[in-house]
Amino acid sequence: MAFTLFADTRAALARDSLHGLSVGDALGSQFFVPGRRPADLAAGRFPPSPWQWTDDTEMACSVVAELTEVGEIDRDRLALAFAHRCEPYRGYGPGAVTILRLIRTGTPWPVAAASAFDGQGSCGNGAAMRVGPLGAWFADSTRQAAAQARASAEVTHAHPEGIAGAVAVAVAAALATRARLDGDRPPPSRLLAAVAAALDPGEVHQGVRRAAGLLGRPLAVAVDALGNGSRVTAQDTVPFTLWAAATHLDDYPAAIRACVEAGGDVDTTAAIVGAVVAAHTGVGTPGGVPADWLAAREPLPDWVA
Ligand SMILES: [Mg+2]
């Protein structure tokens, strides 16, 4: 179905997804603090605020700021935005810090991204973690969401799996947003089948297909088969996050609790899942990002707020 989205509608949809991403990131990262247990969250006992967001949110804010200013991804601009806004204490991985330092000191992004991991390029989950709001922005075209996600990934992730992770998340967010506009919730199996259809063959593609076969199974079974991001690769992160988002697409708190319970790279799994689910539910709505969770999150940077 073809339809037109006006610029301020795109911005509002992407903003809801960014709130879902950043609240998930900020709350998820609290569970790396010793003594915090998933059972606390399940029982409604929350960490003290403010919940500080991490690299996932910082980079996602740059993606949204670029879309707001330019309307599409200009890779040269995005690479410089990532590089100049990087605050290393936000939990960036060592590979990302190196690539962003190279870009900041004048190395062209294609060279910096290709140099990572002995010339293989990064297949980390960093391109997937920041891209959900871009999918919401391009809710009117999964084809464009996929192409723009690829562009946004390439500036740091030269490995095909790192790029596929971003494409998968953006397409999922675009479909979740479109379903919100249509006023219906896609069955989880249809959502995952549509994401898989948008991907090139590879490990992320296989993982998303495996995730579809695990719908309705217990969380622990899904984590066992799909991973939970503990290896911080796209392959080990994205299939599980799309299983969780498809399963809990109309219940943001349940989606985030599933990520916390799953363990692993919790700030990033909760950021990805939060971005996709909030693109569907919105903020402050029934099943959406709770207003008190949003208030507990550290404010977003001035340059995107
Ligand atoms: Mg992080």
pLDDT score recorded for residue 73: 98
Instruction: Give 125 Cα–ligand 1 centroid separation in angstroms.
Output: 10
Distance between start and end Cα atoms, the chain: 32
pTM here is: 0.98
Question: What residues are paired with 233 via a beta bridge?
Answer: 124
Instruction: Give 224 Cα–ligand 1 centroid separation in angstroms.
Output: 22
Instruction: Give 104 Cα–ligand 1 centroid separation in angstroms.
Output: 20
What's the burial of 114, exposed, middle or buried (CB within 10 Å: 0-12/13-18/19+)? Answer: middle
What is the block-wise mean pLDDT of the chain (305 residues), using blocks of 10 residues? 82 98 97 88 92 98 98 98 96 95 97 93 97 98 97 98 98 98 94 98 98 98 97 97 98 97 97 98 97 98 91
Residue 194 CB partners (closer than 8 Å, separation 6+) = 142, 171, 175, 186
Closest-CA residue to 149 (of 131, 136, 125): 131
Provide the angle, in degrees to the nearest 10, between the axes of the packed helices 203-213 and 160-182.
40
Instruction: Give 268 Cα–ligand 1 centroid separation in angstroms.
Output: 6
Instruction: Give 252 Cα–ligand 1 centroid separation in angstroms.
Output: 19
Which residues neighbour ligand 1 (ion) by CB within 5 Å?
Answer: 54-56, 91, 267
What are the backbone angles phi and psi of residue 124, rounded to the nearest 5°?
Answer: -70, 170
Instruction: Give 56 Cα–ligand 1 centroid separation in angstroms.
Output: 5
Q: Say how many C-beta atoms besides its own lie within 10 A of residue 299's C-beta.
A: 10
Annotation: binding site for Mg(2+): 54-56, 265, 267-268
Domains along the chain with CATH numbers: 7-296 (1.10.4080.10)
Residue type, 207: G
Annotation: binding site: 54-56, 265, 267-268
Instruction: Give 4 Cα–ligand 1 centroid separation in angstroms.
Output: 34
Helices (H), 105-251: 109-119, 126-129, 132-137, 142-154, 160-182, 188-197, 203-213, 219-226, 234-247
Instruction: Give 265 Cα–ligand 1 centroid separation in angstroms.
Output: 8
Instruction: Give 91 Cα–ligand 1 centroid separation in angstroms.
Output: 5
pLDDT score recorded for residue 248: 98
